Amino acid sequence: MSDFGFLNTHRTWEDWCGMLLGAMIVASPWFPVQDAAITGDQTVILNAVAIGLVVFGISQLEYVALQRWQEVTTILVGLWLIGSPYVLGYSGEGFLRIYHTGLGAVLVLLGMLQLWQDWDMTDQDMLRHGQ
């Protein structure tokens, strides 16, 4: 019989994964396979940098002091990253749209996993995270 305890506990590697995702989102507008029109669009660049910094910062906060609002914010930011190509008008640009949609989906899944893991934890248990 297999043990699903691995998925039941919020682990610090999940927080490091969130920090890596944040860094990848910040760097995404400057990947070499980008269309030249995207690299000149300041709104798209500002959106990617802001989202990436928020994800990176929240993941650092989760690593230090775990709170439930951090997972909810990660889910909401991931949903915004999925929708931002359509809202900001760069849905016709193939790579960045696919990249942001994929990273947003990973963020939503990571946030949902962390929220599910922490759902029944007390505040004291959440404060001991990472120790």
Question: Do 18 and 59 contact (CB within 8 A), yes or no?
Answer: yes
| 86-125 per-residue burial string, b: 16 or more CB within 10 A, e: under 16 | eeeebeebeebbebbbebbebbbebbeebbebbeebeeee
Residue 1 has a pLDDT of 39
Give me the number of domains the chain comprises: 1
Residue 5 counted as domain residue: no
Give the residue among 41, 33, 46 at the shortest CA–CA distance from 96. 33
Residue 81 counted as domain residue: yes
pTM over 0.85: no
Residue 127 counted as domain residue: no
d(CA 32, CA 53): 21
Residue 1 counted as domain residue: no
Task: Note down the domain range covering 79.
Answer: 11-119
Radius of gyration of the chain (CA): 16
For the chain (131 residues), the mean pLDDT of every run of 10, in chain order, is: 54 82 90 60 89 93 78 94 90 82 94 81 60 48
